[in-house]
Structure 1
Amino acid sequence: MKALIDPNNALSRGLAEIRTEYQVPAGFPADVLAAAEAAARRAPTEHRDRTAWPFVTLDPASSTDLDQAFTIDREGADLLLHYAIADVAWFVDDGGAIDGEAWRRGATLYLPDGRAGLYPPVLAEGAASLLPAGPRPAIIFTVRVAPDGGVRLDGAERAIIRSTAKLAYDSVKDSDLPPGFAELADRIAAAEDRRGASRVDPPEQEVDAVEGGGYALAFRPRLASEDRNAALSLATNLAIADALQAHHTGLFRVMAPPDEHAVQRLRHTAKAFGLIWPANETLAQYQLGLDAADPKQAAFMLAIRRAGAGASYVPFREGVVPWHAAMAATYAHATAPLRRLADRYVVRATLAIANGRPVPEVVTAAFSQLPGVMARADTLGGQVDRAVIDLAEAVMLQNCVGRGFPAIVTDVDDRGVRMQLRDLPVVARVAAQGVEPGDALQVVVSAVDPAHRMVSFQRAG
């Protein structure tokens, strides 16, 4: 997963094997690189000059593929979020070499030792990235945020912007940010609570060296700056989704809630971590009180994210309201076009409808084709994520053969018993008879093979 960090290169060999196994691209074809070099020199001609607006970016310190920049104004009781999104479509011709390669990839793949980008670095980390090195073409979405957190798209335009600062999550100060930043995030969070949204943002996982040798999975809790920044993207995506739905077009991100069986399994997982989940609280109610700074609660947040059937994309369908259960709203992806193919087309459609123009036919046609492409990209990303986590768990436990761990049964199915270790963020299977979900187990690590990303357990006694 993109959040897994490996500062000591404990996973290098295994990561190389994962890249080979899943055919992670190592670079770009020559014709794509040549087209990208030419596109990077393309001068904007359809953009208004907004270089005087005080845009900033806020990302991990090491990020160079910057999709978003923002500034905030106040109009009466409302806040106006001016959210600038990288104008990728300005550099990518429909049907050209860059476009074709992007359709083959679908999304950027992230591994601890680097990413396989959707677009060549000369664009994704250069001409199209909203870096403060100089003026950049962008699409500015203006989102009106009411005092109750309600959002509405007020406008969209192509513009030239100049980011005044590349801010980092771990070092940003309130004085660095536009006035109203925290207030806007609070409004969006309050609106989520009222809607009953069940979105969770687990902390990042890291692979840390431990004293005496070996490695351990650890959690890096999310920072307040990250959560507030995410609220800006959320507000924009919600406003865009509503606008697209109202104009009978678009591509939407949808997700069903965890079913009853998954929720029951989560209750057993909570028990495994020693968490108290009152019987009269729903999952949505309970997770609002989770604290990502607590390792056990952080691990449970990851379990919640993995419990659902997963999100997918659907095009507009007459008479159907697309719904994202975690957001408790109609939702779209528009704010990461450097990293997701679908966003480029959602941005183009929104720009058209906001200015009274018809959505380009090539965009409408793409909306029916993108769900399959993005599903394949999501599947590949999930497989790579799972392989990386399996590798990390094997590295973490390679010196633990014969060691016992307390666990709790979270599920019993036709493949056997699934358990959650009580003291580590590890879910695994073990052969055990006569147990039910919620039962406590003592298990022993029986074999570990980092080369094959495998850890085996057996029931103690």
Structure 2
Amino acid sequence: MARTGQTFIPDDDVEDFREGFARLRDDFDVPGEHPDEVKAAAEVAAARPFDVVQPGEPAGQWQHVDRTDVEFLTLDPATSTDLDQAFAIEMAGDDVVLHYAIADVGWFVRHGDPIDREAWRRGVTVYLPDGRAGLHPERIAEDAGSLLPGGPKPAVVFTVRVAGDGSVRLDGVERAMVRNRAKLAYSTVTPADLPDAFPELSRRIEENERRRGSDRIQWPEQEVVRRPGGGFELRFRPRNDAENQNAAMSLATNMAVADALLEAETGLFRTMPGVDERRLGRLRHTARAFGLDWPKAMSLGEFERSLPRGEPRTSAFLLAVRRAGGGASYTPYAEIEGDKPWHAAVAATYVHATAPLRRLADRYVIEATLAIANGRAVPDEVEQAFSELPEAMRRGDSRANRVDRAAIDLAEAIVLQDQVGEVFEAVITDEDDRGVRIQIREPAVVARTTARRVDPGDEIQVKLVAADPVSRSIDFERVG
């Protein structure tokens, strides 16, 4: 399947909408192929020889320790080829020890080279239904730098200790050569494929989240599928246990790295305010639209964890939470206000360090952590980048989010285009000077319409009067 951030469209149907995807790329100035200069630099970087030392020997900044004897695995969507993360897990007394190997993008991309300059222009990888606009050239992101099975690959290995109460501590960082023993897929993995301590690590992290009052949401994904009788339908694919457990490893590592950087008084932190009262009110109306009982005294995080898994209405509500969120940003240590940087959804100090093939900022966070963990000064170019990255990441994330939203708009228009004239049940979730925001119950679509003498929470009926995949728009009017 071709992927966007939240929407999947079967490959057989992608060609039908190629023109729409091309228009979407043009509308949002999505980068195309990497320039020839960048691809040539990637070839040179991919051929750069490694200086490998044995465990126990002192290692310099650009040397890699031989860790090919460690049983690393990857766990991703079946079709993924840009593999950022591999893991090995063991018990050490009461601690779960996570060895988290992250693609060593810093080995291939050096400060000021053509790959680096282009990455700064892009910021992040942008996913669309018919492909992706990669942060880095394919030679690095899907080949030399990806932690695919086969020959040894360069990585930065974070060793994280997870205590019995779920607290985390960074216990070491090193450049290493690793070997991925198996590329596991979310759709087919079984408990027998995974380390024995894999579920225990996840359980500890989740228990600690509950104690912190974290509202971190495990997002569902949408699929657009052709109906047997013609037309399309929009449905949700809930995340399975393996995906949720896999996310715990990244969370644990990013929190442990954040604590280490904060103690060293450097770094780039991911910060986010809490969901404001207006958005919470809108989400409560949305929950009502899906027939979900949200007690007034229950927090958003507690409510999310109480919802039945695998039900379409749960997935629809979680997608609404994603749309209601916002305000996450990158903050350099020098600009921290208060005692510590804070990410409200995680309810902790937090960084992005585990997806450098897809996010520019992660490479710099990794390089800073490597330095402080090994008693070296953070390179000047890394410290300078921390003050410049927030704007570069804002631009990249903004484009990716707008493309993601537009892809969903396109999918909704495709799904609904053969239902023009039909009447749908809806609940008003919000009202402002642009009209009222409505949540359609089935299919789960958010839209705006005009309605007088109504309040948020009111149930109304609306008729679909237009659905245009070309403009990626749908139009409802109130009836009755």
What TM-score range do you get, normalising by the shorter chain? over 0.9
- SS of structure 1 residue aligned to 2:189: coil
User: In 1, are the aligned partners of 2:87 and 2:98 still within 8 Å (CA)?
Assistant: yes
**CA spacing shift, 1:370–1:82, aligned 2, 3 Å:** same
> What is aligned with 2:467?
448
Q: Distance in 1 between matches of 2:247 and 2:419?
A: 38
Q: Which residue in 2 is equivalent to 1:383?
A: 402
Return the alpha-carbon distance in structure 2 between the equivalents of residues 447 and 21 of structure 1. 21
1:20 matched to 2:29? The reply is no
- C-alpha deviation, 1:280, in angstroms: 2.3
* Equivalent residue for 2:255, pick from 238, 246, 251: 238
Counterpart pick for 1:48 among 62, 65, 72: 65
1:63 deviation in Å? Answer: 0.6
> Counterpart of 2:438?
419
Amino acid at match of 1:17: R
What is the TM-score with the length of structure 2 in the denominator?
0.94
Q: What residue identity is the alignment partner of 2:165? A: D
Q: Is the 8 A contact 1:11 1:392 kept in 2?
A: no
Moved more, 196-205 or 277-286: 277-286
State the 1:320 CA deviation.
4.0
Secondary structure at 2:233's aligned position in 1?
Answer: strand
1:177 aligns with 2:194: yes
Tell me, yes or no, if structure 1 residue 211 matches structure 2 residue 228. yes
RMSD: 1.1
Cα shift at 1:311: 1.1
Q: Larger deviation: 119-128 or 211-220?
A: 211-220
Distance 1:62 1:450 in 2: 27
Q: Which whole-Å deviations, capped at 9, do the CAs of 1:325-368 have from their partners, x for residues lacking one?
A: 11000000000000000000000000011111110010000000
Q: How many percent of aligned residue pairs carry the same amino acid?
A: 57
Match of 2:8 in 1: 5
Instruction: Please give the per-residue CA displacement for 1:22-44, whole angstroms capped at 9, x wherever unaligned.
Output: 12222110100000001000122
User: Is 2:478 the partner of 1:459?
Assistant: yes
Structure 2, unpaired ranges of 5+? 52-62
Q: Number of paired residues? A: 461
Deviation at residue 285 of structure 1 after TM alignment: 2.0
In 1, the alpha carbon distance for the partners of 2:6 and 2:48 equals 33
1:269 aligns with 2:278: no
What's the counterpart of residue 372 of structure 2? 353
1:114-140 per-position Cα deviation (integer Å, ceiling 9, x unaligned): 111010011101111111121011111
Q: Distance in 1 between matches of 2:31 and 2:432?
A: 37
SS of 2:384's partner is helix
Q: 1:5 corresponds to which letter in structure 2?
A: F
Give the aligned residue type for 2:340: V
Partners of 2:67 and 2:176 within 8 A in 1: yes
On the 8 A contact 1:256/1:308 being kept in 2, the answer is no
Q: Which residue of the partner structure matches residue 358 of structure 2?
A: 339
**Does 2:95 match 1:92?**
no
What is the alpha-carbon distance in structure 2 between the residues aligned to residue 106 and residue 344 of structure 1? 11
| 1:262-306 CA-partner distances (Å, limit 9, x unpaired) | 111111111111111112222222122123411111110111122
- Distance in 2 (CA, whole Å) between partners of 1:440 and 1:176 is 48
Corresponding residue SS for 2:420: coil
CA deviations over 1:219-246 (Å, ceiling 9, x no partner): 0111111111110111000000010001
Among 74, 80, 87, the alignment partner of 1:63 is 80
Q: How does 1:6-405 map to 2 (within 5 A)?
A: 6-7=9-10, 8-9=13-14, 10-45=16-51, 46-317=63-334, 319-405=338-424
Deviation digits for residues 119-167 of structure 1 (CA, Å, limit 9, x no counterpart): 0011101111111121011111000010111100000011111111111
Tell me, yes or no, if the aligned pair for 2:217 and 2:301 is still in contact at 8 Å: no
Distance 2:339 2:443 in 1: 42
Q: Distance in 1 between matches of 2:38 and 2:455?
A: 55
Per-residue CA distance 1:31-75 (angstroms, 9 max, x = gap):
000000010001222011111011111111111111011101211
Q: Distance in 2 between matches of 1:144 and 1:90?
A: 26
> 1:12 offset after TM fit, Å?
2.7
**Is 1-10 or 243-252 further displaced after alignment?**
1-10
Q: Mark the runs of 5 or more structure 1 residues left unpaired by the alignment.
A: none
2:428 partner amino acid: V
* Cα distance in structure 2, aligned partners of 1:131 and 1:311: 31
Determine helix, strand or coil for the equivalent of 1:452.
Answer: coil
Q: Secondary structure at the match of 2:354?
A: coil
2:86, 2:101 within 8 Å by CA — same for their partners in 1? yes
Kept in 1: contact 2:6–2:408 (CA 8 A): no
Tell me which residue corresponds to 2:58.
none
TM superposition shift of 1:216: 1.2
TM-score between both structures, scaled by the size of structure 1: 0.98
